[in-house]
Amino acid sequence: MKAAVWHARNDIRVETVPDPGPPGPGQVVIRVGACGICGTDLEEYRDGPLFIPVDEPNPLTGRKAPLILGHEFAGEVMAVGKGVKKFRVGDRLAPDVLIYCGECYWCQRHEVSLCDSLAALGLMGDGGLAEYCTLPESMAIALPNGLSDDHAALAEPLSVAVRAIRKGRLRVGERVAVFGGGTIGQFCVQSALAAGAGEVFLVEPLAARRQLALDFGASATIDPMTEDVTESLRRLTGGIGPDLVLEASGKAVAPAIHAARKGGRIVLVGLPVKATSFNFFDLVSTEKEVIGSLSHIYDEDYAAAVRWLGDGRVLAEPLISARLPLDALVSEGLHRLENQPGETLKVIIRP
């Protein structure tokens, strides 16, 4: 089969690799219908290895580079292993992709995204940028009738937004500000509205992304390059500030904290890559909460994401910027993400 294999930094090859073979106990083999390219894939390409093991195999998967990329995908079951009960050949599914030990302190508390040995298909094990993929039955969610593979592939990034809303304890009618209008930010806008937010505001410098948020139902948008964000949000909320702030860019941690109302909550969804200088007096004196939110939980966030895509509460199609064959992954897909970020949200690969 064809697959996109990470060999080293700046070395991803679309090449022929062995078919996965029969599934083991508790596993299924799927034919991948669609796989999204994530910013993490671009980071592994240009700056890796970040998560991909190269010296020692991952303790849960037993794998190290070279590895097949892709952790946002969906497809059709082609074979089932011994003991599989949830799926049969012909069923369609999307995998949560997280692999965890099931035994550590956090796994026992159902906080599997904090597992000491956390791994993921597409980073520590072979993923979905291939014609076929083998995965555990336990991580898979059945797709509702009518949900396409292209849209189901976006359940993974949507589940990140769903978890952020859950961690932020959004109450019906509260006002929400989202910093960053990329794929995760746009899903945060939609998820907040689906969960009952009274108003949602997007802070984003790119005009096309601001307009997209308005199309999704945001009440207003703010250009941080030309407006004072905190003052604008206070004006939009009667001088108070938003109840919940979701920082989805990884680049505006301090402004996001400043923007929240007194006693408000700030959820950090984006991954900051640089140190941030911040005077914590503002945090203490206003009794704000800063909450980290990492990845997703399969039966909470991921299942909800698949359901919301299936019933139309959250829309995926407006976020898809291009659909490409696997052979065009590097030359067109990763190239677009790297060189045309203003025009690109999600690129879908159809292996």
Q: Are 24 and 60 within 8 A, CB to CB?
A: no
Q: What is the pLDDT of residue 144?
A: 96
Low-confidence ranges of the chain (pLDDT < 50): none
User: What is the per-residue pLDDT across 66-121, written as a single tens digit (0 to 9) for each?
Assistant: 999 999 999 999 999 999 999 999 999 999 999 999 999 999 999 999 999 999 99
User: What is the per-residue pLDDT across 271-285, written as a single tens digit (0 to 9) for each?
Assistant: 887 788 888 998 999
Which residues make Cβ contacts (< 8 Å) with residue 235, sequence separation at least 6? none
Domain boundaries, the chain: 2-154+316-350, 158-292
Beta bridge partners of 92: 76
Reduce the DSSP state of residue 258 to 3 states and report it.
helix
Domain 2-154+316-350, architecture per CATH: Alpha-Beta Complex (3.90)
Q: What is the pLDDT of residue 206?
A: 95
Q: What is the pLDDT of residue 96?
A: 94
Q: What is the pLDDT of residue 331?
A: 95
Q: State the CATH class of domain 158-292.
A: alpha beta
Q: What distance in Å separates the CA atoms of residue 149 and residue 55, rounded to the nearest whole number?
A: 34
pTM for this predicted structure: 0.95
The DSSP code sequence of 80-144 is E-TT--S--TT-EEEE--EE--S-SHHHHTT-GGG-TT-EEBTTTB--SSBSEEEEEGGGEEEPP
